[in-house]
Amino acid sequence: MALKLLYITNAIDGSGGLERVLSVKTKVLAEDYGYDIHVVTLNQKSKTDLFFPFSKKIIQHNIEVSGNAFQYFSKYRAGINKVIAEIKPDVISVCDDGLKGFFIPLLLRKKAPIVYERHASVQLNFSKKSTIFKNQLTYYLMRVLAKTFDAFVVLTKGNVTEWKSKNVKVIPNLLSFYPETSSSLKNKTVIAVGSHSYNKGYDLLLNAWKQVVSLHPDWELHIYGKYDEAHTYITLANRLKIEKKVFFSPPVKDIDQAYLNSSIMVLPSRSEGFGMVLIEAMACGLPCVAFECPHGPADIINHGCDGLLVPNGNVEELANALKSLIEDENKRIAMGGKAKENVQRFLPQNVVKQWDELFKKINPNEQAKKNRT
């Protein structure tokens, strides 16, 4: 009998890294490993209008919640328990980086092995508007609740240091594509990919880019990602008078083509859970430049071999790293070749196997079956 797996997440119709990884991972688990997979979402408008293609074998459920905090929480709890009662999963996996996801083990009427998949650094949960005390209280609560899961999965070795729990395990994100071809690294284009949020650090990147184009005016920066309502970074590019050397585009489904037409990837994030865009760019043969932020880039980039790491938030060093790759084509080509080679450790066949082993290890039925044999 197929192992029945339920994913609990906010939505799967977006263009973010979590959705991309979940689409690939569930496809491999369902079609190659024979899992019976269900996904429950929250206030998702459509089951068919999805940014990334999900396997037709995946069964979707949706919970509608609204109202004040009490009403929202009550509907959320009732909806999850209803889905669980209907499908009776063997294992539950929570993919929700918000605080509410940590409470899932306490909300369930019917107990089942539960995994938490952490896709972000704890820095993401800290609000700039909140007091240090409130942020630290949130962190303390998250660490306590993390221990209530059968397994707590983070993406990098760096992320392990954020959690004080014996149930923490590292399983990285997986590649969604690995083109046979690589970028020629001849186009005078630097690419950045990610939503227009403060955490992605585009303000730091644009200030660094102003320094770069003052010496290399024939190079362009292309940023792909969902705009914020205020168009903050488009406005900043105009204010810095670099708008003719920076091009903003919304998310695109064929982002691999954008990588292949670029020569350098830059990730200016203040914090990361992993850095999905880094391994995508490396799969296309691009050397990467990133801040050594908590946590992800340092686990992916081998500094000086397949890319460059710079001190977190240091605009001057970010500009210098970009200039060094722009000015040395041989260095770009050597690093790009190593990037293409080193990123193979994130291929689906190397990562999904780890998930299969974990799900079967924490499922008592699978363990009983193993003991009988």
Closest CA to 175 of 365, 349, 326: 349
pLDDT surpassing 70 at residue 370: no
CATH 3.40.50.2000 positions along the chain are 4-174+347-372, 189-345
- Mean residue pLDDT across the chain: 94
Q: What is the pLDDT of residues 284-333, one digit of tens each?
A: 999 999 999 998 999 999 999 999 999 999 999 999 999 999 999 999 99
pLDDT (average), residues 180-200:
97
Give me the CATH code for the 189-345 domain, please.
3.40.50.2000
pLDDT (average), residues 243-256:
97
**pLDDT above 70 covers what percent of the chain?**
96
Domain 4-174+347-372 has CATH 3.40.30.10: no
Are residues 309 and 292 in contact, defined by beta-carbon separation less than 8 angstroms? yes
The answer to whether the Cα torsion of 276, 279, 284, 285 is positive or negative is positive
pTM of the model: 0.90
Q: What is the pLDDT of residues 14-33, one digit of tens each?
A: 998 899 999 999 999 999 99
DSSP state of 54: P
Q: What is the pLDDT of residues 123-156, one digit of tens each?
A: 776 766 667 878 889 899 999 999 999 999 999 9
Q: What is the pLDDT of residue 129?
A: 65
